[in-house]
Structure 1
Amino acid sequence: MSEHDTNSETLGEPTRRDFLYLTTGMAGAVGAASFVWPFIDQMRPDASTLALASIDVDVSALEPGMSLTVKWRGKPVFIRNRTEKEVEEAKAVQLTDLKDPVARNANIDAAAQATDLARSAGEGKENWIVMIGSCTHLGCVPLGQAGDFGGWFCPCHGSHYDTAGRIRKGPAPANLAVPTYAFTSDTVITIG
């Protein structure tokens, strides 16, 4: 044994050198984290983006047969208070007649069938329909109360949607998407 060996080194106990290695490593880790944090923090969405995460829409002025288009997350959203006739026409459509049998409603099960009720605001509010206003073919904005089925028509490539926003004819592969939304009162819809 040399004169520089201590009892703690031979027994495997921590030494002053071990302590210095540990504290130097911890200081380096803290320094690296403080250097990297601004780069990580800049990837978070800013306040204006978070504010657009949800919007409240007052629909008290929409009588049956009227529509409103609002902007949410940079996309148009169609809100329509359908007439009883429009609701009945949409309910009468057989699922086998649909080009896309999936509801595409973010508020219900992803595999739900595209019945009129599954596309609408639900029981007691079947007259209300809320959809993202982008044609599922190439993202054009369809015209309301137009086309062969009285719903929406995309003049760019000829896609026809019915009064429940389901694709019925043309190149579009899917129904208009229904975003997450809820009636927070009888006259206010929160989208997002």
Structure 2
Amino acid sequence: MNFDFDQIISVSLVLFAVIDIIGSIPLIVSLREKAGGHIQSEKATLVATFMLILFLFLGERILLLFGLDSSTFAVAGSIVLFTLALEMILGIEINKYTEPKTVSIVPIAFPLIAGAGSLTTVLSLRAAYQVENIIIGIIVNMIFVYLILKFANLITNFLGSGIISVMQKIFGIILLAISIKLFTTNLSLLIEKL
């Protein structure tokens, strides 16, 4: 076991930037409302943690099993993020959540937390960092994610509905831009491969 504090910090910061759970607070609040005021924070965090660690070890094999590569995966994930962003900006409902319990898994655990960006980031981190340090970095991030999911209501009450509404629109535009960048970057890689 080669635990390296510097590697753990680096991995944690990279994943923190990619997951961007702080920027997702308005979306989490919006999804919480659609889910009847409840999100299963523990379930969402555990599923996302499991997906990230599984992808760390088996990501490339899983994608190859379906004849996919990380670019194809990222394009698909970007379309899901695009629809979430449109909901935030326009105040419309594209995804129907008939079963509130499922909101904790889709879209919170995937693709919000363990999405195309974070899953492909985990694969690329493996090339530069020790696996045990990446796992600790994932766990550090998931603890933070859990706290944000658990206390999203308190954060909302502290900030107020007006600020949350403005943040929702702003972060919706940012999420839209991220989804477009993810889409165009990976689509161009797919076209090059053809």
Taking structure 1 as the reference length, the TM-score comes to 0.23
Kindly name which structure, 1 or 2, has the bigger radius of gyration based on alpha carbons: 1
The structure in which a higher percent of residues are strand is 1
Taking structure 2 as the reference length, the TM-score comes to 0.23
The structure in which a higher percent of residues are helix is 2
Structure ranking higher on relative contact order (CA contacts 8 Å, 6+ apart): 2
